[in-house]
C-alpha cells in the first residue's frame, strides 16, 4: 500500500466515524519526515477518541502507529504511521492550531465522499 493509499484509507475510516472537515495534505515536498497529513475534526473529545480508535482498529492487521499522543485529553490526538501522520481535533483545538493555514502552501488531495 502506498502512502497516498494509506492516507485515503485513513480518511475513509475517519469519515465512517462521522469526522468532519477531513483534509489530506501532501507533505512530501515540504518536509522530510512524512508524506501526508490527514486532518479531521470530531465534535467533542469522546468523538475524537472514537475516530482515532476506529483508524487504529481498522489498520491494526496491516499497520500499527509508531506513536500515539493525546488520547487521554482527546482534544488533539496524533497517530504517527511514519509516512502518514493523522491529526484528530476537537473544533476548538483545530481552530487554535490551524494546521491547514500553517501548511497552506502544500497540495491537498481531492477526497471522494460517498453516502
Alpha helices (runs of H) in the chain, residue ranges in sequence order: 3-16, 45-59, 91-97, 99-102
Cell match 491537498: residue?
A: 108
Asked if residue 114 has pLDDT above 60, the reply is no
Q: Does domain 3-102 have CATH number 3.40.50.620?
A: no
Question: Whole-prediction pTM value?
Answer: 0.94
Over the stretch 5-39, which tens digit does the pLDDT of each residue have?
A: 999 999 999 999 999 999 999 999 999 999 999 99
Residue of higher predicted confidence among 24 and 114: 24
Cα separation, 78 vs 14, whole angstroms: 13
Dihedral angle over CA of 16, 98, 89, 96, nearest 10: -150
Over the stretch 77-86, which tens digit does the pLDDT of each residue have?
A: 999 999 999 9
Mean pLDDT score across all residues of the chain: 95
pLDDT band, very low/low/confident/very high, at 64 (cuts 50, 70, 90): very high
Closest CA to 82 of 103, 104, 59: 59
In the chain, where the domains are located: 3-102
Cα separation, 18 vs 97, whole angstroms: 21
Amino acid at each position: 500500500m502506498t502512502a497516498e493509499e494509506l492516507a485515503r484509507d485513513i480518511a475513509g475510516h475517519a469519515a465512517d466515524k462521522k469526522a468532519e472537515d477531513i483534509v489530506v495534505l501532501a507533505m512530501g515536498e515540504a518536509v522530510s519526515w512524512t508524506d501526508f497529513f490527514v486532518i479531521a475534526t470530531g465534535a467533542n473529545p469522546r468523538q475524537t477518541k472514537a475516530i482515532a480508535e476506529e483508524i487504529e482498529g481498522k489498520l491494526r492487521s496491516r499497520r500499527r502507529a509508531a506513536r500515539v499522543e493525546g488520547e487521554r485529553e482527546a482534544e488533539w490526538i496524533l497517530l504517527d504511521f511514519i509516512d502518514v501522520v493523522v491529526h484528530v481535533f476537537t473544533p476548538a483545538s483545530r481552530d487554535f492550531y490551524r494546521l491547514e493555514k500553517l501548511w497552506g502552501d502544500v497540495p491537498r488531495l481531492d477526497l471522494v465522499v460517498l453516502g
